[in-house]
């Protein structure tokens, strides 16, 4: 029986805080370089509970950690119906000045291109150039659930790369939600750290992280700078990766960095947040401050390599939900308690 092409997809659309709707959204016809997917699984991103970030885009379909089956392809697409794939929701042109120097997230093609209507949908169209630039065929021995980690793990890969780790570095990861724990897993896999420290103020996350690093600091009970100083003979961490997008977390991380150390800013703050940076200290301590935003094609490929190599990401999945309960999944993330990775199966 010939496949009847779906005309619409059921999708999760954000209208505002506590206003997430499931709607039928029209699927556009395929242009050259596009392809149509049936979404089989999609992870929920903690960035999608930053209301200030989404409010300026609303109404906006959600979901950018998808795994899907190819149903139809446009002219020039190198995949076939039946292929199981990961598609990056943004994709670069690969030819502009930014792309040539590896700064794919600054490509002018990168941001406007996206999945339509998003990864939290029954079907989605991957617009060109995503199928050519940043789509990966998923091997048969990698589960759909593990493959939903490709995009978030790629962001971690980029963060660790930009930190410029050196052999023997002592690394502190501030924030032990799923992205913090992925950092710990990736850093362990890199095998270049001499001391790996995690920090959080949520007791469930502190408990979970104990098996992922050498030392876990409960910041609700112990000043982080004191704990890091004690663990490093008073010198501090060579690399500090700060996950929470707050000024408090950034300043806490800066105070833990060693002389000549690097502070990686992994999440944005609201646009009106201002960090009163003590430039005098930053200058004489030669602190390097490096933001790390999203990921590019090289990072998604390295994430796939880590996953196929056995990185144990499925241990981070705490909830599995159908699309009808997606609002419940975001509520779990918003509570910032025991929920880590929430997987939705449309």
Contact indicator for 261, 254 with CB cutoff of 8 Å: no
Backbone angles phi, psi at 276, to 5 degrees: -80, 85
At 329, list the tokens.
């999944």
- Supply the pLDDT for residue 3: 61
- Residues with Cβ within 8 Å of residue 110, at least 6 apart in sequence: 90, 91, 92, 93, 104
Give pLDDT, residue 113. Answer: 72
Strands (E) across the chain are located at: 8-16, 19-26, 35-43, 60-61, 66-73, 84-87, 115-116, 123-126, 135-137, 169-174, 193-200, 215-218, 237-242, 257-265, 288-291, 317-322, 341-345
How far apart CA 199 and CA 189 sit, in angstroms, is 19
> Is beta strand 66-73 parallel, antiparallel or unpaired with respect to 35-43?
antiparallel
Highest CATH level, class, for 8-152+295-345: alpha beta
Specify whether the CB–CB gap between 179 and 266 falls below 8 A. yes
Q: How far apart are CA 205 and CA 84, in angstroms?
A: 33
Superfamily for the 164-291 domain:
NAD(P)-binding Rossmann-like Domain (3.40.50.720)
Question: What is the DSSP code (8-state) at residue 139?
Answer: P
H or E element: which one contains 305? helix 297-308
pLDDT at position 1, please? 43
Domain residue limits, the chain: 8-152+295-345, 164-291
CA 244 to chain centre: 13
**Separation CA 302–CA 31 (nearest Å):** 29
**Nearest residue to 114 via CA among 104, 127, 132:** 127
| CA distances (Å), origin 162, targets 6, 65, 155, 295 | 42, 22, 11, 11
Cβ atoms of 252 and 224 within 8 Å: the answer is yes
Residue 62, CA atoms < 13 Å, CB-side half-sphere: 31
pLDDT of residue 191: 80
- Do residues 11 and 117 make contact, with C-beta atoms less than 8 angstroms apart? yes
Q: DSSP assignment of 197-239, as one string?
A: EEEES-HHHHHHHTTTSSEEEETTTS-HHHHHHHHTTTS-EEE
- Per-residue pLDDT of the chain (346 residues), as tens digits, is 446 789 999 999 999 888 999 999 999 999 999 999 999 999 999 999 888 888 888 899 999 999 999 999 999 999 999 999 999 999 999 999 999 999 999 999 988 777 999 999 999 999 999 999 999 999 999 999 999 999 999 999 999 999 999 999 999 999 999 999 999 999 999 888 899 999 999 999 999 999 999 999 999 999 999 999 999 999 999 999 999 999 999 999 999 999 999 999 999 999 999 999 999 999 999 999 999 999 999 999 999 999 999 999 999 999 999 999 999 999 999 988 889 999 999 9
What is the C-alpha to C-alpha distance for residues 177 and 208, in angstroms, rounded to an integer?
10
Quick check: helix, strand or coil at residue 69? Answer: strand
The residues that bridge with 4 in the sheet, in sequence order, are none
For residue 142 the two structure tokens come to: 């990698």
Q: Which residues touch 66 (CB under 8 Å, ≥6 apart)?
A: 37, 39, 41, 42, 86, 87, 89, 115, 119, 124, 148
């Amino acid at each position: 029986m010939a496949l009847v092409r779906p005309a619409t997809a059921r999708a999760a659309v954000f209208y505002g805080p506590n206003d997430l709707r499931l709607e039928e959204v029209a699927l556009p016809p395929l242009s050259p370089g596009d392809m149509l997917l049936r979404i089989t699984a999609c992870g929920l991103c903690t960035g999608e509970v930053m209301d200030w970030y989404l409010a300026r885009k609303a109404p906006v379909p959600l979901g950018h950690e998808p795994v899907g089956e190819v149903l139809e392809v446009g002219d020039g697409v190198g995949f076939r119906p039946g292929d199981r794939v990961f598609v990056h929701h943004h994709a670069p042109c690969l030819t502009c000045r930014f792309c040539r120097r590896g700064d794919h997230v600054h490509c002018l093609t990168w941001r406007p291109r996206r999945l339509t209507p998003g990864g939290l949908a029954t079907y989605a169209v991957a617009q060109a150039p995503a199928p050519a630039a940043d789509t990966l065929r998923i091997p048969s021995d990698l589960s759909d659930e593990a493959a939903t980690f490709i995009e978030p793990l790629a962001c971690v890969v980029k963060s660790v790369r930009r930190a410029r780790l050196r052999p023997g570095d002592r690394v502190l990861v501030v924030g032990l939600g799923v992205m913090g724990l992925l950092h710990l897993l990736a850093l362990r896999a890199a095998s270049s750290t001499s001391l790996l420290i995690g920090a959080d103020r949520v007791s469930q996350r502190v408990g979970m992280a104990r098996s992922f690093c050498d030392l876990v600091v409960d910041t609700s009970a112990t000043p982080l700078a004191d704990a890091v100083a004690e663990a490093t003979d008073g010198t501090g961490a060579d690399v500090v990766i700060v996950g929470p997008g707050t000024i408090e977390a950034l300043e806490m991380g800066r105070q833990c960095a060693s002389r000549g150390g690097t502070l990686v800013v992994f999440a944005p703050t609201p646009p009106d947040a201002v960090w009163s940076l003590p430039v005098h200290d930053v200058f004489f301590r030669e602190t390097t401050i490096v933001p790390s935003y999203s990921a590019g094609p090289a990072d998604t490929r390295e994430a796939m390599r880590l996953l196929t190599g056995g990185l144990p990401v499925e241990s981070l999945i705490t909830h599995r939900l159908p699309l009808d309960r997606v609002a419940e999944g975001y509520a779990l993330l918003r509570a910032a308690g025991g929920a880590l990775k929430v997987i939705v199966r449309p």
